[in-house]
């Protein structure tokens, strides 16, 4: 099975849609999507993801199933320095790099900062929902791998967001979400591709072939957006 995660185009967060640049990115993305043999499309309920998806879906005369748990992982926690509320995946490096538990797969959800919000509950809800979807397609979560009950070569495409995409990747890779959130970046309309690898009969893991690929933008002469990346230099 192949899983393809696509981040929405350059966003207008205020209106929950795309900027002029974002619409151009979505058009360039279609030139890539149309080459895939996609079995199922899934999309976040948020406007910026739906708008990105619709550019391709309308041209292909296809539809996507809207999944509530694919919306952005907007779960606030209490900033230990300022006492203010902030998104769980927007932490300052002087803090999170000193917290060893945030690097530990079995400890990060129990850390003080994650317990200051409902991160654990929401993380498990998203991951359980995702596993439920994969089960429908023949792959049952068993410990850290998937039992290939009905192994197949289907392609599933997910139009979603940076934060929730890294939640799902952390679940599939068996690493902490903070490691994904803080150390990786995927630009608007970037493509991340995972494919099942079965080296033992009936046992499947998802292996990443590409992450944050923006070759369709480069081919169209569009400079990838840095939305969500902090470029400040002091």
pLDDT at 31: 97
How far apart are alpha carbons 205 and 225 in whole angstroms? 31
Q: Which residues of 28-55 are buried (b: 16+ CB within 10 A; e: fewer)?
A: bbbebbeeeebebbbbbebbbbbbbbeb
Low-confidence ranges of the chain (pLDDT < 70): none
Please choose, from the candidates 179, 231, 225, the residue with its C-alpha nearest in 3D space to the C-alpha of residue 26: 225
| Cβ 162 vs Cβ 8: under 8 Å | no
pLDDT at 135: 98
pLDDT at 71: 98
Provide the 3-class DSSP secondary structure of residue 164.
Answer: helix
Chain centroid to Cα 219, Å, comes to 23
How far apart are alpha carbons 109 and 113 in whole angstroms? 9
Q: Where does the chain show beta strands of DSSP type E?
A: 2-7, 11-12, 17-18, 40-43, 65-66, 76-78, 85-87, 139-142, 145-148, 155-160, 191-200, 203-213
43, β-bridge pairs: 66, 159
Q: What tens digit of pLDDT does each residue of 60-103 get? A: 999 999 999 999 999 999 998 899 999 999 999 999 999 999 99
pLDDT at 232: 80
């Amino acid at each position: 099975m192949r899983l393809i995660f696509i981040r929405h185009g350059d966003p207008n967060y205020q209106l929950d849609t795309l900027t002029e640049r974002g619409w151009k990115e979505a058009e360039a993305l279609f030139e890539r999507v149309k080459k895939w043999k996609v079995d199922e499309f899934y999309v976040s309920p948020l406007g910026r993801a739906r708008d990105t998806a619709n550019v391709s879906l309308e041209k292909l005369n296809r539809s996507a199933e809207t999944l509530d748990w694919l919306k952005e992982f907007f779960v606030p926690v209490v900033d230990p320095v300022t006492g203010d509320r902030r998104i769980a995946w927007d932490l300052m490096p002087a803090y999170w790099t000193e917290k060893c538990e945030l690097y530990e797969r079995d400890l990060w959800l129990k850390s003080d900062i994650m317990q200051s919000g409902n991160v654990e509950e929401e993380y498990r809800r998203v991951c359980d929902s995702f596993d439920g979807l994969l089960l429908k397609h023949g792959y049952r979560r068993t410990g850290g791998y998937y039992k290939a009950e009905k192994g197949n070569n289907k392609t599933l495409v997910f139009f979603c967001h940076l934060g929730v995409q890294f939640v799902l990747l952390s679940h599939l890779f068996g690493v902490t979400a903070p490691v994904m959130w803080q150390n990786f970046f995927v630009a608007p309309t970037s493509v991340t591709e995972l494919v099942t690898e079965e080296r033992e009969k009936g046992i499947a893991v998802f292996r990443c072939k590409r992450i944050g690929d923006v070759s369709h933008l480069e081919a169209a002469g569009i400079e990838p957006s840095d939305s969500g990346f902090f470029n400040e230099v002091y």
